[in-house]
Structure 1
Amino acid sequence: MKAFRATGSFRSGKNNQPYTLDVVAENEADAMERVYSNFGSRHGTPRRFVSIDSMESINPSNSTAPVVVAHFRGDDFSEEE
């Protein structure tokens, strides 16, 4: 599993709201699916209103997202990047 950071925007009412979201996924396609799923469940936003501008693999130690921190707890990343 890897950590990914997605940035983009989603429709909130009549406005677009920018976001940055860190997720844990097997690959980039799975990470995109998790982003769509997250906005659908938390905000009730249809997939067509979620825009993913960039998706990048990140070092998990650079994330403060609880899901990323919990998944990689105990792993040593001092030799990577």
Structure 2
Amino acid sequence: MSEFTVRGKFQSRDGWQEFETTIDAENENVAEERTYTNFGSYHGVKRTEIEVEEVEA
């Protein structure tokens, strides 16, 4: 597994909030999906309220 850095923003009560997180995953697509899952469960936002701008190894 590789370590990926995912950057983007999500819709919060106060407007758009930027984020940068590190995810262990097999490839970039899995890292992006795990980001959606983690932010959805932790912050209670839907996938349509999350914008992933960059995924890099």
Question: Which of the five TM-score ranges fits, normalised by the shorter chain?
Answer: over 0.9
Report the structure number with the largest CA radius of gyration: 1
Structure with bigger strand share is: 2
- 1:49 corresponds to which residue? 49
**For structure 1, which runs of at least 5 residues remain unmatched after alignment?**
58-81
Q: Structure 2 unaligned segments of length 5 or more: list them.
A: none
- Report 1:20-59 matches (<5 A): 20-57=20-57
Please state how far the C-alpha of 1:13 moved relative to its aligned partner: 1.3
TM-score with structure 2 length normalisation?
Answer: 0.96
Bigger relative contact order, structure 1 or 2 (CA pairs below 8 A, ≥6 apart): 2
Distance 2:42 2:32 in 1: 16
What RMSD over aligned residues (CA atoms) do the two structures have, in Å? 0.7
SS state at 1:38 partner: helix
Cα shift readout 1:26-48 (whole Å, capped 9, x = no counterpart): 01110000000010110010000
Report runs of 4+ in structure 1 exceeding 3 Å deviation. none
Equivalenced residues, count: 57
Instruction: Name the % identity.
Output: 39
* TM-score, L = length of structure 1: 0.68
